[in-house]
Structures are given as C-alpha cells and as structure tokens.
C-alpha cells in the first residue's frame, strides 16, 4: 500500500514485550491518521471507564499519511490517551523530525500499554525494542533528558520525553520532543509518567512509496511557494505572539483570570515590543517552509532562549495579571523544561491567586505556601511547586477544576476550565462562536479543534445565535481533517479549496479515489467517534458548558458585544446538537452512528 505501512506497533511496558498488528485499509480510509486514527485506536484499545493513570490506558503516538511526503508542514504527529484532566479523549499534536522517526520504524501508530515498576527509557529501532533503565535521568529537565539521549544513543534517533512534571504526574504535564516542542494539552505527559516512561526514542528509515510521485513533487513545489505568501505573513514575521496587542485592543484578551480588570499596560509584552527590544531568532519544524517559531533570548538568562507562543505569553502574563517581560519569558521556559502545559499552569495559578486575594484559601493550604515578595515571585514559586508537587504545588498540580472542587466556597465559579481543561486566550464573552466551541469541544476548553474564532473575526460572521452551531460543526470537521492528515493549522489559508486540494493530495499519496465530500465526511466521523468515546466514559450534557463567571460578569453593558447569558449559550448548544443531528441531550442516535460506519 502507498503512504502507509498498515502496521501498528504495540508495546507493553509491564511485560517488556511488543507485537505488531495489521491496520486495515478501511480503518485508514475512515480515520486517515493523526488525531483521527488516534481516536479510533483509543476507542478500541482503552477499556471502558479506565482510570487515566491505570496501566490499561493506552498512550498512542500516531503518524499520518503525509508524514514523510516532504509536503510543507506535514512532519507532525498526534499523541492520544484518556486525559487525566478531563477523563475524556485527550489528544495533542506536536511536530518535527520525531514524526519522521516514528514512521521510519515502519509503524503508522505506536500504542504503549501497561506500567513499569522502574523508570524506563525505550529505544525503538529496526532491530527491536530495548527497555533501558532510566533511573539516572529522573529529575532531569526535558532539554537535559533529550540532550543526554542524543549523546548516548547516537545520531538518527528522535526522542519524546517528559520532565519532572510528567514524572510527578502533574495532570497537565506535556510531552516534549525535538528541542522543546510540546504535545502540550490534556496531560499526556502525566499518562507517560504513570507508566514510568521517562523517554522513548525512535530510529528507522523504512521507505514508503507514493502512488503519484510526479504529481506530489509538483504539489510540493507549489505549496512551498504559496506558503511563503500573504496567507502566512503573520506567522513568518512575528509568530503567534502578534496576537497579544491585537487581542488587547479588540478586548478579546483575557486578563486577571478573566476578570478583565487591570491597571497594567501589556504593550511591553506585545509581539511587536518583544521583536523590537529583544534578541529574537526564527526556527522551523522539519519539512516546514513557514518558520513560525520565535526563539527569544531571555533577558538576564545567559544564552537561554524560549520558544515563545501567544498562548504562553497570555497564560503566564495577562491571565495572571503580570506584565513583567522577564518573568513571563522565564516562566514559559520553565514550563517547557519541566514539561507542563503553559495554559493550564497559568490558569491554575490565576485561579489560586484570585482565591487568595478573596481570602478563600483555607489556612491549611496557606501554610503550605512558600514565602514570596510579589506576584511575579509568587508565580515563579507556584510553578516550581507544581512541577515538584511540593507543598501547595501538590494540590495545584491537580488543575483548577479539582483544586476548586476541594475548596468549594464559590471558587468553582472562577476556575476557568471546561470539562477540566483550562481555557485558552480567547474571550468567550466577546467571541460567541468561540464560546460555543469551547463549551462543546470533546477535549475541553480547546481552541485548536475548531478554530471557531475565525468566524468571530470574519466580517461575515454576524449570523444569529442559532447559526453558530453550523459554524462550529464546519470548523470542527475541517480541523479534524487537518489534524488527521496532518497539516499545520498555519498553512490553512494557503489552500483555495481545502477539501478538493487535500483529497487530491491524499489520493496521490495513497492511490485512493476519495472525493472531497468523502474527506469532509471523515472529519464528521472522527468528531462523532470522539464524542461517542466521551459518552462511553460518562459524559453528561451539563458538561457542555462554560465557567459561571462568563455568564455572571459581563465585560460591559453592551449586551450584544461583551456578554453572554447562560440561555444564549443554551440556544447555541441546541443549534450545535441539531447541526450534528444529535438528540436534544447531545447523544448520538444509533442511526447516525450507523450512517457514519461507527461500530460501538
């Protein structure tokens, strides 16, 4: 077969054994790869109601049909497991040469099952798998761990590893690869830690054939040219940190744990200011022509650089009410080195800081707090405590949802999460399509699985509330296809007709005859399967919701612009269920599952 190996590698770290299984072509046609294939494998390999930290929870690395094709931005992979933050599907994407290494061993996906008694570093190559003792790596940062393995394993290995946060099973721990890139959201690093896997390294050079190499070669050339055009200008120049000043001006930048009351000026941490005043270099993933990564040299940090993104800038800055650039850059770097998601880390700290200000933190918790001088110092010490699970950090490492539930006293109302996943830097009271997407997303408060903010920012988005459901469905299905092929989201505007062009490319890779509608249908199928997984794991309708603060604290008196009522969200959710052809309770009718070919 073209473009795929049709193989899954299944590794059991309990018994230190492995086996290969065939992957049927029909499954690949239905779920493609990446996030979609990961959802299929999770549904089938995770026993119902499995505890996320149980050995039975599979940790799945998925490549895609486009990995290895050398098409721009396609060196990407998905990591999927049952999320320790949400208890539902957890999936996260990362990029660069590790994707090539995973596929190079001859697998379309790698499933890790079981749990080890001792810390392991796995070495996977064409000669087999070594389960090496990793006790000497414990406590090391992600960059030290990866650097050590590069040095000891020799050239050609790609490594995914966890930092101390993953070792300590911080629920929002990430998995790091290729010099600090992160599979950041939903806590896959904690699942890896629960299995006592410090690192897994892949090396392989198994070649794949492509059905129409000649045509792919021309597509490769054309996409590379187009990817350097107007459609990616922002990402190539300032990167995503350009969002900060724009979002602040448009009042869609969440500030102070979404209270949006601050006397601070965040212009000094804008992408423009950082670009002008700091040393910034550009980097890019393997096989990417865009180069969105901005590496900022940290002031007073020696030669240390941080890979700075808008979401980290937002979560460790305005969200926690901090505008000191050095603190934010150091905090972002710290999270990457410890291996934890910056959004959830920042948001959990923001919740805690507000609860402290309101005198709602119990005395027994305050006694666990380190001595601090100011908010900047407090943030630094909280992040450190979380990564170690020391003192108050042991409670905060559970995330804002669980910590607030433990305190009560109304603190749940301003724990800014959906289904246990903390909210990203898009203000739902101003961006109503995004508000709906955050509420209904299968992975919790997620901005990446719908890109629904695009509808709010577009001039043509002024439809009524009942039109939002269709928009979110379109965005989710489109994103599911992107995340399964896998294209980088930043290349999306390069396509004139996404489904037409992508189905043609997929056919040239695989030799299939998939039409654009069938490809779009894959997106719908993937999202329905993700939802069906959540239903199986105990999802109830009330969990499609937003934090209470969103409804009770409008940003202004203008009802149409900067507020959102619970009843309006309810109308939008109904429109979403209708557009999905689900029941009024958000369940998927048997007939719908059958029409999509989903067997449960």
Partner 1 sequence: MAISLTVELYGNSRIIAGQKFIQLKFAESKVGAADVIKELALLFPSLDGKVLDLGGKKLLSSYVFNLNGVGFQGPQKLKLRDGDSLLILPSQAGG
State the residues that interact with partner 1 by CB under 8 A: 230-235, 237-243, 245-246, 249-251, 271-272, 275-276, 309-311, 451, 453-454, 457-459, 462, 489-490, 492-493, 561
Q: Closer CB to partner 1, residue 4 or residue 426?
A: 426
Pairing, β 421-422 against β 76-82: unpaired
Give the residues across from 214 on adjacent strands.
none
Give dist(CA 593, CA 203) in Å, integer: 39
Give dist(CA 537, CA 46) in Å, integer: 10
Instruction: Give the gyration radius of the chain's Cα atoms.
Output: 22
In sequence order, which ranges of 233-282 are alpha helices (DSSP H)? 233-237, 243-249, 271-277
Give dist(CA 258, CA 21) in Å, integer: 47
Nearest distance, CB of residue 456 and partner 1, angstroms: 8
Nearest distance, CB of residue 474 and partner 1, angstroms: 16
Q: Closer CB to partner 1, residue 250 or residue 587?
A: 250
Nearest distance, CB of residue 339 and partner 1, angstroms: 21
Give dist(CA 309, CA 342) in Å, integer: 10
What is the 3-state secondary structure of 34-45? HHHHHHHHHHHH
Q: Closer CB to partner 1, residue 235 or residue 499?
A: 235
Contact (Cβ atoms closer than 8 angstroms) between residue 525 and residue 594: no
Contact (Cβ atoms closer than 8 angstroms) between residue 538 and residue 238: no
Q: Closer CB to partner 1, residue 194 or residue 240?
A: 240
Give dist(CA 463, CA 471) in Å, integer: 10
Q: Closer CB to partner 1, residue 177 or residue 232?
A: 232
Contact (Cβ atoms closer than 8 angstroms) between residue 169 and residue 53: yes
Nearest distance, CB of residue 241 and partner 1, angstroms: 8
Q: How far is CA 45 from CA 12, 83, 100, 114, in A?
A: 12, 14, 24, 12
Q: Closer CB to partner 1, residue 426 or residue 533?
A: 426
Nearest distance, CB of residue 454 and partner 1, angstroms: 6
Contact (Cβ atoms closer than 8 angstroms) between residue 81 and residue 52: yes
Nearest distance, CB of residue 230 and partner 1, angstroms: 4
Nearest distance, CB of residue 231 and partner 1, angstroms: 7
Phi and psi angles of residue 8, each rounded to the nearest 5 degrees, phi first:
-120, 135
Contact (Cβ atoms closer than 8 angstroms) between residue 465 and residue 575: yes
Phi and psi angles of residue 139, each rounded to the nearest 5 degrees, phi first:
95, -10
SS3 600: coil
Nearest distance, CB of residue 579 and partner 1, angstroms: 22
What is the 3-state secondary structure of 195-208? CCEEEEEECCCCCC
Nearest distance, CB of residue 348 and partner 1, angstroms: 21
Q: Closer CB to partner 1, residue 162 or residue 335?
A: 335
Q: Closer CB to partner 1, residue 72 or residue 245?
A: 245
Nearest distance, CB of residue 332 and partner 1, angstroms: 14
Contact (Cβ atoms closer than 8 angstroms) between residue 490 and residue 232: yes
Contact (Cβ atoms closer than 8 angstroms) between residue 62 and residue 37: yes
Pairing, β 181-183 against β 120-125: unpaired
Nearest distance, CB of residue 386 and partner 1, angstroms: 24
Nearest distance, CB of residue 243 and partner 1, angstroms: 5
E strands, 83-177, are 89-95, 109-113, 120-125, 128-133, 158-161, 175-177
Q: Which residues have CB under 8 Å from 548's CB, separation 6+?
A: 412, 413, 414
């Amino acid at each position: 077969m073209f473009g795929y190996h049709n193989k899954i590698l299944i590794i059991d770290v309990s018994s230190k054994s492995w086996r290969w299984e065939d992957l049927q072509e029909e499954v690949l046609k239905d779920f493609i790869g990446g996030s979609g294939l990961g959802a299929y494998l999770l549904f089938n390999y995770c026993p119902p109601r499995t505890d996320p930290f149980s050995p039975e929870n599979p940790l799945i690395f998925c490549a895609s049909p486009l990995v290895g094709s050398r098409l721009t931005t396609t060196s990407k992979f998905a990591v999927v497991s049952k999320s320790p933050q949400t208890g539902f599907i957890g999936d996260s994407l990362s990029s660069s040469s590790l994707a090539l290494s995973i596929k190079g061993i001859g697998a379309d996906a790698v499933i890790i099952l079981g749990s080890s008694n001792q810390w392991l570093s796995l070495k996977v190559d064409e000669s087999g798998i070594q389960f090496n003792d990793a006790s000497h790596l414990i406590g090391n940062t992600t960059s030290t761990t990866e650097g050590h393995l590069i040095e000891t394993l020799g050239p050609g290995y790609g490594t995914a590893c966890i930092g101390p946060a993953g070792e300590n099973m911080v629920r929002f721990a990430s998995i790091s690869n290729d010099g600090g890139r992160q599979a950041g959201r939903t806590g896959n690093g904690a699942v890896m830690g629960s299995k006592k896997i410090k690192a897994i390294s892949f090396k392989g050079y198994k070649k794949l054939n492509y059905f129409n190499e000649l045509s792919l070669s021309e597509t490769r050339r054309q996409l590379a040219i187009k990817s350097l055009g107007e459609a990616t200008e922002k990402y190539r120049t300032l990167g995503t940190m350009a969002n900060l000043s724009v979002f602040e001006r448009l009042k869609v930048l969440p500030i102070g744990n979404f209270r949006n009351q601050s006397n601070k000026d965040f212009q000094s941490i804008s992408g423009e200011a950082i670009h002008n005043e700091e040393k910034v270099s550009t980097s890019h993933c393997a096989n990417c022509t865009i180069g969105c990564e901005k590496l900022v040299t940290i002031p007073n940090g020696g030669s240390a650089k941080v890979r700075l993104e808008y979401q980290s800038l937002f979560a460790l800055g305005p969200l926690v009410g901090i505008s000191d650039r050095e603190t934010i850059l150091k905090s972002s770097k710290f999270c990457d080195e410890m291996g934890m998601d910056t959004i959830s880390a920042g948001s959990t700290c923001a919740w805690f800081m507000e609860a402290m200000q309101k005198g709602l933190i119990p005395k027994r918790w305050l006694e666990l707090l380190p001595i601090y001088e100011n908010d900047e110092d407090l943030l630094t010490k909280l992040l450190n405590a979380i990564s170690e699970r020391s003192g108050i950090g042991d409670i905060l490492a559970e995330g804002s949802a669980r910590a607030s539930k433990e305190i009560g006293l109304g603190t749940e109302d301003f724990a800014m999460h959906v289904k246990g996943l903390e909210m990203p830097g898009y203000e739902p009271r101003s961006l109503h399509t995004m508000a709906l997407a955050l509420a209904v997303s299968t992975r919790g408060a997620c901005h990446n699985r719908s890109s629904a903010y695009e509808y709010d920012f577009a001039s043509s988005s002024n439809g009524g509330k009942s039109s939002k459901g269709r928009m979110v469905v379109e965005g989710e299905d489109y994103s599911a296809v992107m995340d399964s092929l896998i294209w980088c989201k930043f290349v999306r505007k390069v396509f004139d007709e996404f489904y037409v062009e992508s189905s043609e490319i997929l056919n040239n890779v695989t030799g299939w005859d998939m039409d654009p509608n069938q490809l779009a249908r894959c997106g719908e199928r993937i999202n329905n399967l993700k939802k069906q997984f959540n239903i199986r794991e105990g999802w109830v309708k009330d969990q499609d919701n937003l934090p209470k603060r969103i409804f009770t604290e409008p940003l202004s008196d203008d009802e149409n612009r900067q507020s959102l009522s619970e009843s309006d969200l309810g109308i939008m959710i109904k429109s979403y269920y209708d557009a999905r052809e689900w029941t009024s309770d958000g369940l998927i009718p048997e007939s719908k599952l059958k029409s999509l070919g989903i067997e449960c």
